[in-house]
Structure 1
Amino acid sequence: MKKIFATLFFTTIFLMNSNTGSAAGTEKINYTITFPEAQAHYAEVEMTISGLNQKTLDLKMPVWAPGSYLVREFTRNLEGFTVSAGGKELPVTKTRKNIWHVSTDGLAAITVKYKVYAFEVSVRTSFIDADHAFISSPDFFIYPEGMLKNASTVKIVPYKGWTTVSTSLEKVNGDTFTRTAPEYDILFDSPIEVGTQDVFSFKVGSTDYEVAMSGGGNYDKERVKKDFTRLIEEEVAVFGENPNKHYTFIIHNYLKGGGGLEHLSSTTLGATRDGYTHEGTYQSFLSLAAHEHFHLWNVKRLRPIVLGPFDYDNENYTTNLWIAEGFTAYYQDIIVRRTQLYAPQNYLDLMARQINQLENQPGVKVQSVAMASFDAWIKAYRPNENSNNTTISYYTKGAIIAMMLDLEIINNSKGKNSLDDVMRYMYNEYYKGKKRGYTDAEFKLALEKFAGKSLDNFYARYINGVTDIDYNSYLAFAGCKMTDELAGSNSPALGITMVANTRRVIVASVLRGTSAWDDGINVNDEIITIDDKPVDSKEPLFGDKKVGDKIMVKLIRDGLEKTIPVTLKKSATVKYKIEQLPNATAQQMAVRKKWLTLQ
């Protein structure tokens, strides 16, 4: 944001996101980051705090990064922690995994020094090598307790050959290597890329956009700018305004990459370096960009009430990630569809794949989407070999629920309203009006307002329950129908997934209720033969076997050979396809036209 804009804007964000506590004091906080051993993945941080007037001070580091709901224990990558004053080192007591206690009685200023090891490739953690540094602020910056509202300045001393800094943080006196944050909620929500990244810019309305491409790639700058512009225009139309004066896309290009993390005025994306000329890969990239950019409204401003002010020491629980992430997952594809960048059937195929993903997980009958949201901290980011049997993705089911609600609202309002109106209403009512987040009950009331009906039964069945979804009752609003292409199949299945990239048949997971589950095949078993015939992961396992046949499975478990009799059951896998019916009524065609943005 420009400085002339910052005062009003950050006052609003302060009300939304900053932790409770005393107003910002007179203390001054400055960081200097150097990279004397970038080739070994290290940075050195020097933090100075001046204007102190207190007897003791606790220095803290977040244990999680907003937008990524897992306690990641960032202090595990810190070393060489010291505190000094006047050139003399002070005693420090570590009182918690992320807290250092120091006596500051009689001291006006202290200097804190530590090293950060950064070698984890992801959009939510820092990474440093001789080519570039990606600084994910929560795992990099220690802060003084009670001073979350204080401003801070970050000075970057680049490694040899590094010329460029990309971040949404404002420059200090026009110096690209010195940036400032008005408070810690802004600093922790502003990643920093340092290196030789390729930077190009464009403007959408009154908002300046910067794209920082790191790692090379076969991207076409003009095409990216044009397509990003179309995505952004469609998303701005949903909410009626763009709250940013500038926005930064930090894009890391890898041999094979993906994933993204949203921030208040920026995002970090992972992409496939040479995937920009492959239409399928490029469309997935656009969907990812649309997803993370949509978050600048949904989550970063319009948010569940518990997601701000943040508690950086502990989990922040909500049952509404199916809205925060799931609705965003819905919009990422419907937004791309609205740009006409791919055909309506492409979009329907994407939604069918999401439904297949959900319905082929036995966990769909175990975990509700509300509980998937709440348990993100312990389950979503820590999957194991049994996760498919016990959990679902709040992204996937949330996107499906958003589709269902969108269709119902469009139908019930005879095309006057859609889910867009709910999002715009909530943004204006809670972020801009009440200057706070929403409760579960408040979002439900808004959905009911535009659906024109009570959603008590909908919530009981599909949000808080695990009732089978009646997809066709919703798709029928748009004259569409979903069918299972495998419905007539009577093929047997063992019910396992196999370890990838090997011809050996090693069990990676066993699905609940299948042949393997019932008869005792385990994860990590290596299947050697079936009925004395050697097996190969690249070949069919059963040949001409039928449902009900008994097979003898020879395997190795923990170095011991076993033979297990298995009775083959019918495959429970579904493969849905959504089609547009040719004989749709005028009402159905009106809903379809609005939903799929038909021209």
Structure 2
Amino acid sequence: PPFARYVFLTMAMGDGYGGLEHRNSTALVTKREGLPFAEMTESTEAYRNFLGLASHEYFHCWNVKRIRPATFVPYDLGRESYTRLLWLSEGFTSYYDDLLLLRAGLLNEAQYLASLAKALTTVTQRSSRLKQSVAESSFDAWIKYYRQDENSPNSVVSYYQKGSLVALALDLSIRSRTQGKRSLDDVMRLLWKQWKTAGDNYKGVAEDQLAKAVEEAAGLSMAHEIAAWTEGTRDPEYESLFAPFGVRCARRADVDAAHFALLGVKIDHGNQDCKLTHVFDGSPAQAAGLSGNDVLIALNGLRVTPANLDTLLSRYAAGDVIEASAFRRDELMRFEVKLASRPPIKFALETETTSGIDARRLREGWMGKTRVRRQRG
């Protein structure tokens, strides 16, 4: 590592999550339940989330604090700096945070695939990915990503999450096309070598430099794919990317929460009022005229709370028409809502038990062969 000592300065509190990277340290905020405890024998989801945060900020010591966009050389922390490459700085770091935990034995294969599937689901369920590229999201970070409102899921794509999927697509593509001889790891090592070699003359990563680095490190011309995934809004073909690794990518109905499946909304569970924090594009709620920040008070005349909304909705069938009463600021409004006939799609990733030796070798080269370590408090 490029330091003799690294410090994780962690503040545990009732509710909170986030981190800020520095050259040889990081400041982290986590829920208390995310910390390990003396009797812990198996990792909890909260602890894995904390490990992912720590891994993310630690990886920034290489990618962001050293390897960084040309517009960040030198860093000027006294003003807003604009770049189209935050999908590389933050997105690629987001890709590696859980992958490194897997390789270190702190996640098992099923947990890692579940994390990937969650990212795939979150990104593909939001129409913003079709309206804004990750390069545009990066450049607009100061005016959009850091100033999100109730309509942001419909208009702002996350360069963290979508950027991590770009890294995934690039890594799987390189590994499969080179029969496992090269990977995104080699590309990152090349960028690291360029930083070390340049020293005080380091110029940063130019906007077209990643494609050149892929060609130099892996011997592949992928400028077209990188441009389509980052400057355009094209989704990678996930099923075909996973197939050579013996990983089945399935699309299933997302019926985990009735308010999302039938209405297409997200609600504030931390409030007694049933406030709609987001109304998603193409949803029954949007078609009926409901908007983010509306407070839903009744369905067919029965009072609604965050606690009973899904129970009330479970009494109806897909395609039923119901009356929703809601306050918009101080105005009581009524809406006729036709519940969704088909729920949104979510992803599930599973290892094919019958995959051949070539697929297993590719998968092991990608994920590593380590066993999950027993957690100790």
TM-score by length of 1: 0.57
Match of 2:375 in 1: none
* Alpha-carbon spacing, 1:552–1:506, altered in 2? closer, same or farther (3 Å): same
The aligned counterpart of 1:363 is 128
Q: 1:253 corresponds to which letter in structure 2? A: A
Number of the residue aligned with 2:213: 446
Call closer, same or farther: CA 1:439–1:398 in 2, change over 3 Å: same
1:526 aligns with 2:295: yes
- Indicate the SS of the match to 2:363: helix
Q: Deviations over 1:481-529 (max 9, x none)?
A: 111231799x861122112223432222211111111121122322222
Mapped to 2, the partners of 1:257 and 1:542 lie a distance apart of 31
* Aligned with residue 594 of structure 1, among 343, 348, 365: 365
Please state how far the C-alpha of 1:355 moved relative to its aligned partner.
Answer: 1.0
Structure 1 equivalent of residue 244 of structure 2: 477
The CA distance in 1 between the partners of 2:47 and 2:295, in whole Å, is 37
Note the alpha carbon deviations across 1:33-71, whole angstroms, 9 max, x for none.
xxxxxxxxxxxxxxxxxxxxxxxxxxxxxxxxxxxxxxx
1:247 aligned partner, one-letter code: Y
For 1:117-175, what per-residue CA distance to the aligned partner results, in whole angstroms no more than 9, with x for missing partners?
xxxxxxxxxxxxxxxxxxxxxxxxxxxxxxxxxxxxxxxxxxxxxxxxxxxxxxxxxxx
5 Å-filtered alignment, 1:412-491, equals 412-433=177-198, 435-486=202-253
Specify every segment of 5 or more residues in structure 1 that has no aligned partner in the other structure, as ranges.
1-241
Cα-to-partner distance string for 1:227-261 (whole Å, 9 max, x where unaligned): xxxxxxxxxxxxxxx22133222222222332111
Provide the residue aligned with 1:276 in structure 2.
36
Question: Does the CA contact (< 8 Å) of 1:592 and 1:598 recur in 2?
Answer: no
- Aligned partner of 1:294 in structure 2 is 59
Residue identity in the other structure for 1:370? A
Q: What is aligned with 1:558?
A: 329
Greater length-normalized contact order (CA 8 Å, ≥ 6 residues apart) = 2
* Residue correspondence of structure 1 range 69-88 to structure 2 within 5 A: none
Q: Residue 79 of structure 2 corresponds to which residue in structure 1?
A: 314
Residue correspondence of structure 1 range 70-469 to structure 2 within 5 A: 242-274=1-33, 275-277=35-37, 279=43, 280-433=45-198, 435-469=202-236
Q: What amino acid is the match of 2:363?
A: R
In structure 2, C-alpha distance between the alignment counterparts of 1:272 and 1:387, rounded to whole Å: 26
Distance, in Å, in 2 between the alignment partners of 1:292 and 1:487 is 31
| 8 Å CA contact 1:264, 1:296 repeated in 2 | yes
Shift of 1:438: 1.4
Change (3 A) 1:566 1:487: closer
Task: Give the Å deviation of 1:357.
Answer: 1.5
Matched letter for residue 286 of structure 1: L
420-429 or 459-468: bigger deviation: 459-468
1:585 aligns with 2:345: no
Instruction: For residue 493 of structure 1, give the secondary structure of its aligned residue in structure 2.
Output: helix
Identity of aligned residues (%): 33
> What code does the residue aligned with 2:25 have?
S
- The alignment's TM-score, normalised by the length of structure 2, stands at 0.88
- Describe the shift of the 1:457–1:253 C-alpha distance in structure 2 as closer, same or farther (beyond 3 A): same
Q: CA contact under 8 A between 1:368 and 1:464: conserved in structure 2?
A: yes
Shift of 1:324: 0.6
Distance 1:285 1:464 in 2: 32
> Cα offset for 1:590?
1.1
Given candidates 491, 498, 506, the residue that maps to 2:275 is: 506
1:422, distance to aligned residue in structure 2 (A): 0.6
**Which amino acid counterpart does residue 323 of structure 1 have in structure 2?**
L
Q: Distance in 2 between matches of 1:460 and 1:297?
A: 24
CA contact (8 A) 1:302 1:431 kept: no
**SS of corresponding position for 1:281:** helix
2:130·2:233 contact (CA, 8 Å) conserved in 1?
yes
Amino acid at match of 2:64: V
CA contact (8 A) 1:550 1:568 kept: yes
Q: Deviations over 1:73-94 (max 9, x none)?
A: xxxxxxxxxxxxxxxxxxxxxx
* C-alpha displacement of 1:316: 1.2
> Helix, strand or coil: the match of 2:141?
helix
Q: 1:523 to 1:471 in 2, by over 3 A?
A: same
After alignment, is 569-578 or 352-361 more displaced?
569-578
Q: Distance in 2 between matches of 1:272 and 1:509?
A: 25
Shift of 1:273: 3.0
The alignment covers a number of residue pairs equal to: 357
- Which amino acid is the alignment partner of residue 212 of structure 2? L
